[in-house]
Amino acid sequence: MRSRAFVAVLLAAGLVAAGCGGKRTTSSAGGGSCEASDRRITIATGNSGGVYYVVGGALAKLISDHTALKATAAETGASVQNVQQLTAGTYDVAFSLADTAADAVDGKGAFEGQKQQIRALTRLYPNYTQVLVRASSGISSPADFRGRRISTGSPKSGTEVIAQRLVEAAGVPFGEVRAQRLDLAKTADGMKDGSLDGLVWSGGLPTAQITDITTALKGDVKFLDVTPQLEALRKVNPVYDRGVIPASAYGQPADVPTVVVPNLLLVRSDFPAGDACAVTKLLFDRKGDLEKVHPAARDIVRERAAQTGPVPLAAGSSDALGG
């Protein structure tokens, strides 16, 4: 599956290059400069089987082909690690779940007592909380995770944050879950070989390795409706909302209600305004190229782009978004 994700990124590069011809341009919007600087930047994405990785790789290619910036994408453990290494200077741009980003600016959770100086270029597509369990496990809600072997995502990932909050919202101390801190590739292996009872994954639709699991195991696995935990989650962070995993996403017999949370594209507070404007404008101007790489990009909506609170919008991004 790692190779499949890599091939998807290469395909993205081909589509972008074919559709755009590699021409670099600068522009302005809202009266501000959208001229990017001539430097190298690195984008922190996520697990190789996840949507961050695929979309992030395509975005890096777009930036390199259409601005003076030279961008590369890096595989990471995702949200928490991304924010920590963004502020440490390892990365220049980072994908993150909005709840993790909110914790960062408020100095809560993994960032307790240390408010992070980050800004958002834009709001992206939503992540869907995908809770998949073995049909024979007897698990019908996160309340049944006590004592069970559940993959809760890579260490320092946004998935791990949501998994812990979901379990605690169901009234179970997280320490009573036999949590397996696994990336998606190892999670898929564990579900297929029976070493896991279930998994929590926060990602776009569809996620390749969730498709791998559902295709391989068919009726031996099922998705859980976790919306009964939504109100408790909202007390922790109001960014959580109600959504639906369509039956068509993974060939399931019916739609499954779930909890969704937006994704944000983050930078440090000192990120140059011209670069912020150029990258943000490019993302929306060339969104169709991202959609060719992954359908989750269809849910990147300009009308909601500035809805990044409590994370402030980056200087320059408001110019790109026309307000």
pLDDT along the chain (323 residues), means of 10: 43 40 41 85 94 97 98 96 97 97 95 97 98 97 98 95 97 98 96 98 95 97 98 95 97 97 97 98 97 96 95 95 76
Residue 154 vs residues 78, 161, 187, 306, 319: alpha-carbon distances, Å: 8, 10, 10, 29, 36
Angle at 147 between CA 142 and CA 152, to 5 degrees: 55
Alpha-carbon distance 14 to 137, whole Å? 43
Contact of 81 with 64, CB cutoff 8 Å: no
Two tokens, residue 283: 């993302």
The pLDDT, as a whole number, for residue 46 is 95
Two tokens, residue 119: 């800004």
The pLDDT, as a whole number, for residue 322 is 79
What is the residue whose two structure tokens read 């600068």? 26
Parallel, antiparallel or unpaired: strands 70-74 and 27-29: unpaired
CATH homologous superfamily of 2-125+263-320: Periplasmic binding protein-like II (3.40.190.10)
Which segments of the chain belong to CATH 3.40.190.10?
Answer: 2-125+263-320, 128-261
Alpha-carbon distance 243 to 227, whole Å? 9
Q: How many C-alpha atoms does 275 have within 13 Å on its Cβ side? A: 22
CATH T-level fold of 128-261 = D-Maltodextrin-Binding Protein; domain 2 (3.40.190)
Angle at 83 between CA 231 and CA 281, to 5 degrees: 95
Contact of 225 with 262, CB cutoff 8 Å: no
Alpha-carbon distance 58 to 289, whole Å? 8
Alpha-carbon distance 18 to 16, whole Å? 5
What crossing angle do the helices spanning 158-169 and 79-87 adopt, rounded to 10°?
130
Alpha-carbon distance 199 to 218, whole Å? 15
